[in-house]
Structure 1
Amino acid sequence: MPRQRSRPLCFSRKMQGAGNAVLIHQAAALKKQQAKLKQLGSPTYTLSDRTENPGYAIYRSNAERVDILANVFPVLLFAIAALVSLTTMTRFVEEERIQIGTLKALGYSNADVAKKFALFSLLASSAGVALGAWGGFMVLPKIIFKAYAANSTLSGFQIHFSWALLLTTWLIAILCTTGAALWALHRDLKAKPAALLLPKPPKGGSRILLERWHWLWNRLSFNYKVTMRNLFRYKSRALMTIFGVAGCTGLLVMGFGIRDSLSGISNIEYSRIIKYDLIAVQNSNSSAKQRQQLKKELNGKSVKGHTGIYFEQLTKKAGDDDATQSISLIVPNNEKNFKQYFAVKNRQTKKTLKLPQDGVIISEKLARLLNAKKGSSIKLKDASGKWRTMKVAGIMEMYIGHYVLMSPQAYQKIFHQSYQTNAQLIKLKKGAKLQRESQRLMATGAVKGINQNVNNQRTIDNIMGSLNRVMIILIGLAALLALVVIYNLSNINIEERMRELSTIKVLGFYDQEVTLYIYRETVILSVIGILLGYLVGIGLHRFIILSLPPANAMFDPAMTLANFILSALIPAVITAGVVIIMHRKIRSVDMLDALSSVD
């Protein structure tokens, strides 16, 4: 019997031993899995709708930028066009002076006479508005959209017609044409038919202020004395020429200035300021073996250099729309080595800024959003949701993104915790493939995220390229308007003074001298208009540069000398071309016919 009982007992002990071995094995496996979970860290989740998608966000941001241009350029272009229309219609009434007198002498009433000019100006302005509406609603939007979306896969362009905008434009056009014609006609209709049948007498000359400056007036030649007197004699036409040229030049200065501010931003940002190729954010839960593998990759053949930093994303609601701004906090381990990867300079003074012991250095656009200056205090929220108060010790040059730089000592004072690096700034050797090196770093397991500068640069280049194409179209329109303004005003100037030109030709002036007699005034007025246009363009450029960039970027506000030269050269070339055309017209003037027209 005992033997029979001992067999089951032995068997049960063996089963118990086997079960313990399984439990021990499972416990070991569970510990390994727990270690892996701990290494992965706590999961984080991001909830966003499609409007927060980077593609949508960039498109919306660019659309808002173009909207700003659309609120500035058309107003200025239309104002200059209205000025030209006003001048043209006023001149049209003056040319019809004799016919007005004839109609009144035949017994036509003032209302009947006015119908001719009202109908003509109404048809002309309506036809112009119809043609402009077709170009503005159908042609230009497609051209701008193609230029704007050239670097994207956007399609399905839709045209939206606005009756309110069309009627507003039409009413303004009627006011500048029909209204101007009726206003000029109102003065002539008060005169008697006998006076209207004679050409309008030229304006009488008078002493000008310049003649009181004897030291200057006595040194002027006869031709320039006549020119100066004519400038003051035809004040309204002189002012229109100045304002017309100034408006066109201002648009050109603004357009070329914005183009210069857009071009090269990404190259400056990622070659002169940010000199590293990528940021590798380390995994705090990595094993010693993984950290050793990362160290091996950082010392590999493809890596030119690296330096340790502390990296964290701070946030702050700022801007006109009170949107949450993402701010990159960088605390270098070694400031001397950090200068090889990041240029910390002030844009105005070009001086290198040193990281302070108890303050921070922030990027220029962030300073604008927060209205911060040197010595100001700002509050930013860290990754744990705590607000940190920082004193601004300097503002550095930066065009894309928001940055806050501080020393390890300042970090310990502000965040009240010991400093340790958690990321690496990496500079690759020439010819190294960025994507391949990023994959190698991620494969070590000691890196949880990589930020590549090339991706940011491509995004910026696409945005700048789209806006640059739009600016080229607007610059072309401004140059075309300059041609219309200068040609129209020059033609009116010659037509009004045809008897005067014929008189000086009879007196023995050569054709070149007669042309210069008129165009000395045009050149002087154009120079004044160009100089005034510089001031207008600088003001517009500053307004656009501050309003056009998105909240996380800024454009270079500096304006190059080539911008001013080119903006003046275009009106100068147009003026020279108009001089050649008008010289032929002056040379073919029939002096006898022009002087005998009074009879």
Structure 2
Amino acid sequence: MKNNVYIRSTFRDIKQSFGRFIAVVLIIFMGVLLFVGIKSVGPDLEKLGNQYFQKQQLSNVQIRGTAGLTTKDKELIEQIDGAHAELGYNFAYSDEENDRNLQVYSFDKEQKQNQLTLEKGSMPTADDEAVIDSQMQDDYEIGQTITIADDQLENQEVKITGYVESPLYINKTERGAAEVGDIDGFIYLSASNFTADAYSMMNLTFSNLPYDFFSDAYAAQLNAKLEDIDSIFDKRKEYRKQELTDDALSEIADEQEELDENHRKLADGQEELDEAKDELQEKKDQFSEQKEQVIAAYGAAAADEQLAESQEQLAEAEVGIKGQQGTLDENQQKLAEGQEDIDKARQEAEDMEEPNYLTDVRKNYPGFNEYTSLSDRIDTIGNVFPVFFFLIAILITFTTITRMVEENRKEIGTLKALGYRNREISSKYILYAFFTVLLGATLGVIVGTKFLPPIVFLLLKQMFIFQNYPISFWFTPIMIAMIAAVIATLGSAVYVLAKDLREKPTSLLMPKAPKAGQRIFLERITPLWARLGFIKKVTARNLFRYKARMILTVLGIAGCTGLIVAGFGLKDSIEAPAYKQFEELNHYQAMVTLNEEGIDNSEQVEAAFKATAEVDRYLPIYSEQVKFKEKGATEQNATLSVTEQPDAFLDFVTFHAETDDSQTHLTNGGAMISDRLAKLYDASVGGSLKMQSAEGDEYEIKIAGITENYLGHNVYMTKDYFNEVTDIDEDLNTYLVKTADMDKPAENDLSQTLEDTDEVMNITFNSDQIETQASSSANLMPIILIFIILSGTLAFVVLYNLTNINISERERELATIKVLGFFNKEVTMYIVRENVIFTILGILFGFGVGKVLTWFIVTMASSDGIVFPLIVPPIGYLMAALMTIVFSAIVMIITHFKLKNIDMIGALKANE
């Protein structure tokens, strides 16, 4: 019976103060929604990735050898516990006919790793068939025959039979780069169509690695496997060199034997020719004797007539012998040149350097870093933004529940006087708190899990090849949100009840004495205080009279304003790295990479620059992709730029020193590296790092400076220092080009002009990279928009709730001034003045909170390859202030109508 009474009483209280109940439910709902929703996106992305990688049997590691790979390499690698290796072929090819750069891969029906997904058409069944990247459907048609002119292929003309997706390329737009330039897509040919003696790649999976690719355990165990691989190949290099040397010397021996045989044949031919020469000389001598005899007998005229035929035969024989001698001499020259080539090849074989083995892990596959960093960034934002949001919700909820219990002091005192036990009295309020948390948290979990992640995934479908995104309920964030909501509601109710229930019934039945007035600081400033009107003095005193309410209101408004500011700040900060990199640091607009002949054969390229009005300046440099790898740290790729003109280089790249002892220009005493690279390897000016070239050779570089950088990693050197470090004098192979503003058609025209020279391998415009980064940043925009909308909604609910609490606490006071003759507008302004002051203080304080919150999130969200600068645009402050003011105005209007309907008699008699 009692339970029914408590339940009915609880529902009666909900009905009587429905606005407060809904406000508490909404605050809990939004806090749980945002926390659970955002904290679910990262795990959902990771779950999706893990499921897809497992289904397609994506290789954990790819291995390439500068001298190719053999079955012996495979046997050695498979000695590692859990390793399974598959050999294959791969090379980059520039399809000039279709103006596309392709990665060519071998396809074998028996292969288990890196399973392809057929999107349209059929898989190859013959050596002259191929399947191509599904993102290139506009460039290649099914049934079309294309030519891949490479000696590694037996059939260079292949017919496209279908479009596929490869797990090696999960990003629809990112295909990586190769020696031919930026890759546009991939194509798979039958493995039996390849004729190379050595394989070019090895795909490797480990059956005993953790399932979760995104976990720290996976990274740690993979690093251990990589150390085993390095150990095997460190020993293998010497044997592989010997194999290559032996093979080369064996081929040279065969060529030498053939050359020696040709020498013998040539010697035999020379001997036969010498004999023919001797015979001819004898015939000449005989002919001379005969001619003398005929002249003596018949005269010279008769001799010429009788011996003309013999004379002609001797002349023809002499011409023939000279021709044969010329041929023998020419062959002798060729044999001499052949001998020189053989001697050179033998010397090269004997001087051959040890080959290198290069490893790539999943994170370095095209598009993978973007996916993993996106998951990390969302999870990082989920660790900060929703938590801060939830803390505000807890604060307001705690205050609301506390006020509700305080309002019912007389009821609690009455029940205690009637003999009800504390547990029985508490049950009503605990039920009330339980209903709010049950309704708000349950709805928050459902909506946050089922509706928030799909909004994010809807946009991600445009960027990644995944189509079916999983939606899962994740235990940890749900439990954290539930516990926080319970503490905010049930905890606050229990806390206040425990305090009130310790009092005697007589104390509870008596109204709490109003807070005593006191002199405030403004009263001591007599000239100012004397000029204030009565109402303004009352407002000033009330502000400081209720300090707790003032602090709570200002904090609530500041928190909401700060969240809105942070939302706008995150939007601009996430979009900023590309603009910072390519406008403030890099002052060139394009990079033009030349073919193997480099700058020495670039007359047409420079002529094209001079003939293009938009091209202002250009600077030749040497550029290549390098790697940095230290034990205990993730491998990092970087772009190396080497210049012969360090002073002129400063017009193309600006160095912002990150430390006081850092150089701001290039010197011959060391390299300039980007700040993120230095941080990852704990490097400092004066220290050193090990750099690995594209061919796998390792060099130790000294750090002369650390510079600001936002995208990727960069290393800068002078040509003299580069030559000193590597002992190699590389030819310059790239132009940095400064241009006037160019639209896309103008860029395409310049690109086509340069490509027509046949001296250019690749052209990269900064505008393309800015667009790519903008597209990448757009993935986070739905989350930012949700933050802004929910933050604004929270601001409204907080203001409404705190104003309601303020009115309920001071209902008797407000009724009194109405009885004294104050008009409704004057009574409203009595409260509104305080709210206006609280709102202004909250907005100003919120600006600082928003900036700090933005800084914290962008710092945490920055990854190995991208640094987000702190940028809070003026529009962010303006919109946060306007949104807060608008919500405050709406609350004030609602407050006005609520104050008009105050029951003055009931309020004044409430304590009786």
Write the mapping of 1:13-412 to structure 2, written as runs, cut at 5 A.
47-193=359-505, 195-197=507-509, 199-214=511-526, 217-285=529-597, 291-301=602-612, 304=615, 305-317=617-629, 322-334=633-645, 338=649, 341-344=652-655, 355-356=666-667, 358=669, 361-366=672-677, 368-369=679-680, 376-379=686-689, 381=691, 383=693, 384-392=697-705, 395-396=707-708, 398-408=709-719
SS across alignment from 1:323? coil
Tell me which amino acid in the other structure corresponds to 1:95: E
2:401–2:492 CA contact under 8 A, matched in 1: yes
Q: CA deviation at 1:292?
A: 4.6
1:380–1:388 CA contact under 8 A, matched in 2: yes
CA distance in 2, matches of 1:91, 1:332: 71
Q: Determine which of 840, 844, 858 is the counterpart of 1:527.
A: 840
Tell me which amino acid in the other structure corresponds to 2:809: E
Q: CA deviation at 1:295?
A: 4.8
Bigger mean CA deviation after superposition, 475-484 or 446-455: 446-455
Q: Determine which of 495, 518, 523 is the counterpart of 2:831.
A: 518
Residues 382/438 of structure 1: CA separation in 2 closer, same or farther (3 Å cut): farther
1:503–1:595 CA contact under 8 A, matched in 2: yes
1:380–1:389 CA contact under 8 A, matched in 2: no
Tell me which amino acid in the other structure corresponds to 1:128: G
The CA deviation string for residues 27-61 of structure 1, in whole angstroms up to 9 with x for no partner, is 999999x99xx9xxx99975435442121221111
CA distance in 1, matches of 2:495, 2:567: 35
1:148–1:467 CA contact under 8 A, matched in 2: no
Tell me which amino acid in the other structure corresponds to 2:734: A
Tell me which amino acid in the other structure corresponds to 1:381: M
Tell me which amino acid in the other structure corresponds to 2:594: Q
Q: CA deviation at 1:598?
A: 3.9
Q: Determine which of 852, 856, 859 is the counterpart of 1:546.
A: 859
Residues 115/137 of structure 1: CA separation in 2 closer, same or farther (3 Å cut): same
SS across alignment from 1:554? coil
CA distance in 2, matches of 1:346, 1:48: 32
SS across alignment from 1:386? strand
Bigger mean CA deviation after superposition, 535-544 or 16-25: 16-25
SS across alignment from 2:889? helix
- Aligned position for 2:769: 456
Q: CA deviation at 1:335?
A: 5.5
Percent of pairs identical after alignment? 34
2:456–2:779 CA contact under 8 A, matched in 1: no
2:398–2:492 CA contact under 8 A, matched in 1: yes
Q: CA deviation at 1:106?
A: 4.0
- Aligned position for 1:3: none
1:90–1:181 CA contact under 8 A, matched in 2: yes
The CA deviation string for residues 255-297 of structure 1, in whole angstroms up to 9 with x for no partner, is 2222222234424433454343432333455797x54555555
CA distance in 1, matches of 2:887, 2:622: 58
CA distance in 2, matches of 1:328, 1:234: 61
SS across alignment from 1:309? strand
Tell me which amino acid in the other structure corresponds to 1:529: G
- After TM superposition, the score normalised by the length of structure 2 is 0.56
Residues 523/387 of structure 1: CA separation in 2 closer, same or farther (3 Å cut): same
Tell me which amino acid in the other structure corresponds to 1:327: A
1:303–1:426 CA contact under 8 A, matched in 2: no
Q: Determine which of 881, 889, 903 is the counterpart of 1:576.
A: 889
Q: CA deviation at 1:154?
A: 3.3
CA distance in 1, matches of 2:854, 2:473: 30
Q: CA deviation at 1:484?
A: 1.2
1:389–1:414 CA contact under 8 A, matched in 2: no
- Aligned position for 2:778: 465
- After TM superposition, the score normalised by the length of structure 1 is 0.82
2:633–2:681 CA contact under 8 A, matched in 1: no
- Aligned position for 2:905: 592
SS across alignment from 2:703? strand
Tell me which amino acid in the other structure corresponds to 2:699: K
Write the mapping of 1:414-425 to structure 2, written as runs, cut at 5 A.
421-425=732-736
Residues 306/546 of structure 1: CA separation in 2 closer, same or farther (3 Å cut): same
Bigger mean CA deviation after superposition, 355-364 or 340-349: 340-349
Residues 47/404 of structure 1: CA separation in 2 closer, same or farther (3 Å cut): closer
1:499–1:595 CA contact under 8 A, matched in 2: yes
SS across alignment from 1:504? helix
Q: CA deviation at 1:487?
A: 0.8
1:358–1:413 CA contact under 8 A, matched in 2: no
Tell me which amino acid in the other structure corresponds to 1:72: V
CA distance in 1, matches of 2:602, 2:559: 64
Residues 28/86 of structure 1: CA separation in 2 closer, same or farther (3 Å cut): same
Is 1:487 aligned to 2:784, yes or no?
A: no
Q: CA deviation at 1:464?
A: 1.3
CA distance in 1, matches of 2:369, 2:520: 61
The CA deviation string for residues 471-506 of structure 1, in whole angstroms up to 9 with x for no partner, is 121122222111111110011101111110111122
Bigger mean CA deviation after superposition, 16-25 or 177-186: 16-25
The CA deviation string for residues 347-368 of structure 1, in whole angstroms up to 9 with x for no partner, is 999xx96555656554454455
Q: CA deviation at 1:578?
A: 0.7
SS across alignment from 2:451? helix
The CA deviation string for residues 506-547 of structure 1, in whole angstroms up to 9 with x for no partner, is 222232222222222222233333333333322222222222
Q: CA deviation at 1:174?
A: 1.9
CA distance in 1, matches of 2:434, 2:428: 10
1:318–1:325 CA contact under 8 A, matched in 2: no
Q: CA deviation at 1:116?
A: 1.2
1:147–1:470 CA contact under 8 A, matched in 2: no
The CA deviation string for residues 98-137 of structure 1, in whole angstroms up to 9 with x for no partner, is 3334433444332221111112211221121111110121
* Higher Cα radius of gyration: 2
SS across alignment from 1:589? coil
CA distance in 2, matches of 1:60, 1:310: 31
Of structures 1 and 2, the one scoring higher in RCO (CA 8 A, sep 6+) is 1
Residues 142/233 of structure 1: CA separation in 2 closer, same or farther (3 Å cut): same
Tell me which amino acid in the other structure corresponds to 1:579: M
The CA deviation string for residues 306-333 of structure 1, in whole angstroms up to 9 with x for no partner, is 32123244433489x8222333333444
Is 1:475 aligned to 2:792, yes or no?
A: no
- Aligned position for 1:557: 870
Residues 287/460 of structure 1: CA separation in 2 closer, same or farther (3 Å cut): closer
Query: Aligned Cα RMSD in Å?
Result: 4.2
